[in-house]
Amino acid sequence: MRDHDADVIIAGAGMAGTTLALALASAGVKPLLVDPQPFDAQLADTFDGRSSAIAYSSFRQWRAIGAGEALAPHAQRIEQILVTDGKAPGPSTGGPSPFFLRFDSGEIADRSHGEPLGYLIENRQIRAALARTVIDKNITVLAPAGAKGLEVAAAGATLTLTDGRTLSAPLVVSAEGRFGVLRKAAGIGDIGWSYGQSGVVATVRMQHPHQGVAHEYFLPGGPFAILPLTDNRASLVWTESTDRAEALRNASPEAFHAHLMRRFGEFLGTVEMAGPTFVYPLSLSLAERLVAPRLALIGDAAHGVHPIAGQGLNLGLKDAAALAEVVVEALRNGEDIGAEATLERYARWRRFDNVSNALAFDGFVRLFSNDNPLLRLARGVGMAAVNRIAPARRFFMHEAGGGVGDLPKLLRGVAI
């Protein structure tokens, strides 16, 4: 086989793929990114309505790999999270259940070193900041050029691109998302199902300050979340049945705003739309394996989960941190980074966390997306119990912040 073009070729220059590239480059490993879309598209101020809740451990990783400074101006600290099981949000409506959960970053400040519960950042700002950092670090990007096929040999892997070029490396990583070419080419199946729900997402500007408080209401159609953004805006994630979500998308602006205010309540004053409305179908997808010969999966290529807990991107960023650490340690030990033994270390590290979280989120969807009186009472009592038990509250806050378990070094803010 010819000399390798890179140590690691990453197919997919989205948020997980660029994070992995930066993590590897920070340790002296040579990554190469390929993507079917022009890379300039990552820098474009294209609004798709989506924002991500970023665990404080994930933001530590971005700081450690040199992207934190570019992201900081766009990151809204989440200081509190209020969770209510109710039929209508807002204290003025009288609809919510009396059972609720309140998480406050002050309770875990001693262990989180003053970090918030997390950060809320628009996806377009994350993509642009990571892309600019990739350019600043002189990481090679071939785009537009998608993955077309993969051949594996004893000495390495050869990736064929859609433009006919071929590239070789000891390891190829698929960060292509749920419908990537490489997972299918490697014969890795997936397990999953549709929830029959869609997420209606929009950005609004509020009259009164949100003070960094995130609100989540569990309603019969699905969760309704009000997530704080910078400049006193909020990202709305409104989960409904697919038919209902499509009706909302097709409603007139006046009708949509009226529906929104009934859901939103009046506790943050007048709400104005700050962009168009988008609808995204919701489903579960879990890859049956995380690795194949000279191939590893990260991000949505490995797991696509329901947004009920806001942890989808954080799981992908954990994948990137874990795989980068495994690769760097293997190189320093003189090992083949694409060998089965090396990749299995990554798979063992991430398998349980990915599967257990995906199934937990699936359980939450089934538990909370209904109005069964007995289930509603049981979940309300459970929420009230957790709210009264300080150690339980602190555990859930550390878990949501990514501060629990066998964390990769980058998630602890430690260089690899």
**Tens digit of each residue's pLDDT (9 = 90 or more) over 8-26:** 999 999 999 999 999 999 9
Residue type, position 350, single letter: R
DSSP state of 207: S
- Distance in angstroms (rounded) separating the CA atoms of residues 299 and 20: 10
- Distance in angstroms (rounded) separating the CA atoms of residues 365 and 303: 16
**Residue 299 is assigned to a structural domain of this protein:** yes
How large is the greatest C-alpha to C-alpha distance in the chain, in angstroms? 70
The predicted structure's pLDDT at residue 98:
62
Identify any residues that bridge with 346 across adjacent strands, giving them in sequence order. none
Contact criterion met (CB below 8 Å) for 296 and 337: no
Q: pLDDT digit string (tens) for 357-381? A: 999 888 888 877 766 777 777 777 7
- More confident position, 148 or 224: 148
- More confident position, 320 or 85: 320
**Residue 168 is assigned to a structural domain of this protein:** yes
The predicted structure's pLDDT at residue 327:
99
- Distance in angstroms (rounded) separating the CA atoms of residues 226 and 22: 31
Q: pLDDT digit string (tens) for 151-207? A: 999 999 999 999 999 999 999 999 999 999 999 999 999 999 999 999 999 999 999
- Distance in angstroms (rounded) separating the CA atoms of residues 339 and 154: 9
Q: pLDDT digit string (tens) for 237-278? A: 989 999 999 999 888 888 888 888 887 777 778 888 888 899
For the chain, what is the domain count?
1
Helix/strand/coil for 335: coil
Rank 98-102, 363-367, 389-393 by mean pLDDT and report only the highest. 363-367
- More confident position, 376 or 317: 317
**Residue 78 is assigned to a structural domain of this protein:** no
The predicted structure's pLDDT at residue 220:
77
The predicted structure's pLDDT at residue 89:
42
Beta-strand pair 171-174/147-153: unpaired
From residue 289, how far is each of 230, 246, 267, 398 by CA, in Å? 38, 34, 46, 28
Answer yes or no: is pLDDT of 45 > 50: yes
**Residue 158 is assigned to a structural domain of this protein:** yes
The predicted structure's pLDDT at residue 269:
83
**Residue 211 is assigned to a structural domain of this protein:** no
What is the chain's mean pLDDT, rounded? Answer: 89
**Residue 203 is assigned to a structural domain of this protein:** no
**Residue 318 is assigned to a structural domain of this protein:** yes
Distance of CA 260 to the CA centre of its chain: 25
Range of the domain at 165: 8-46+122-192+284-370+406-412
**Residue 297 is assigned to a structural domain of this protein:** yes
Average pLDDT over residues 120-141: 98
pLDDT bin (cut points 50, 70, 90) of residue 2 is: low
DSSP string, 17-49: HHHHHHHHHHTT--EEEE-SS-THHHHS----S
pLDDT bin (cut points 50, 70, 90) of residue 88 is: very low
- More confident position, 354 or 266: 354
CATH number at residue 352: 3.50.50.60
DSSP state of 399: H
Give the global pTM.
0.91
